[in-house]
Every structure is written in C-alpha cells, then in structure tokens.
Amino acid sequence: MLRISIAIVLVCIAGLGLWHLVAYLAGKLPKKQRTVKQSPEPPSAIQSALLPPGLQTLTEAAPTRDDPERLQQACTALEDSLADTYMVLAESWLRKGQPRKAAAVLKKILQICPGRHQAQLAQDRLQQIGNEVQG
C-alpha cells in the first residue's frame, strides 16, 4: 500500500513536470504570423449621406489628385456643404433657445465663406436674431 501511494505521487509529479515542459516549449516555438488584409474600406452610408451630391460622384470616380479642375469642384462642394451644415447648426441652436450660440455659428459662416449665398443668409439671420433679442 505504501508503494502504491508513493508511485501515485511520483506519477503526479512527473505528469506536472511534463505538462510544464510542454507549456514552456510551446511558448518558445515561433508562432505562425497572421496575415492581415489591408484593403481600403468603402465610405460608410453615413459618410455618403453627408457628402453633397456632386462630391459623391467625385469620390466614386477615378483618382482626382492629378486633375485640378475636379479637385476645385470638390473643394467648392465641400465649402457649400460646410456652410449649409453650419446654417443647420445655427437653426438648431435657435430652436433650443440659444441665440448667442446661434449667432456665434452664423458669424463663423461669415468668416469661413464670405462670398457665398450662405453668408448672405447668415447675415440676414443675424439681423433677425438681433431684432428679436432687442424687441
């Protein structure tokens, strides 16, 4: 009985030693490197929805880095889109009862794109806000 109990302990110790040896060797073996696929992702639906219609076709077309006319069109479309988005932001601030924040956004439109029709709309809206606050 004593021999059996000693044999069981020795077998357990040998098994644990073997298990640790295998774990140690498995950590030392060179691991197979995973290949990472790097492909450009198409624009998300949100990004596409935010782009003006003229720019959506530019992003889907061939590369435009060497075509200054198309790049100019894209810049103009982005400026219009930015100004329109700022106008929506200003109106949103007004609906929330924050005329000072709306006025700050409208002034930003005047600074960023003074020659656009949105700048004239912003100027008119600033005058309306001023009259409402005074009246």
Residue with tokens 């069981």: 8
Render pLDDT for 82-91 as a digit per residue (tens, 0 to 9): 888 999 999 9
> Which residue type does 2 have?
L
Percent helix, strand, coil in the chain (nearest 5)? Answer: 75, 0, 25
Model confidence at 108, pLDDT cuts 50, 70, 90, reads very high
Model confidence at 2, pLDDT cuts 50, 70, 90, reads confident
Q: Which pLDDT does position 54 carry in this prediction?
A: 54
> Which one is predicted more confidently, 119 or 53?
119
Give the Cα separation of 87 and 121 in Å (integer).
9
Give the Cα separation of 104 and 93 in Å (integer).
10
DSSP state of 29: S
Give the Cα separation of 71 and 68 in Å (integer).
5
DSSP state of 66: T
Tell me the mean pLDDT in the region 118-122. Answer: 88
> Which residue type does 48 have?
S
Give the Cα separation of 100 and 132 in Å (integer).
12
Tell me the mean pLDDT in the region 46-59. Answer: 53
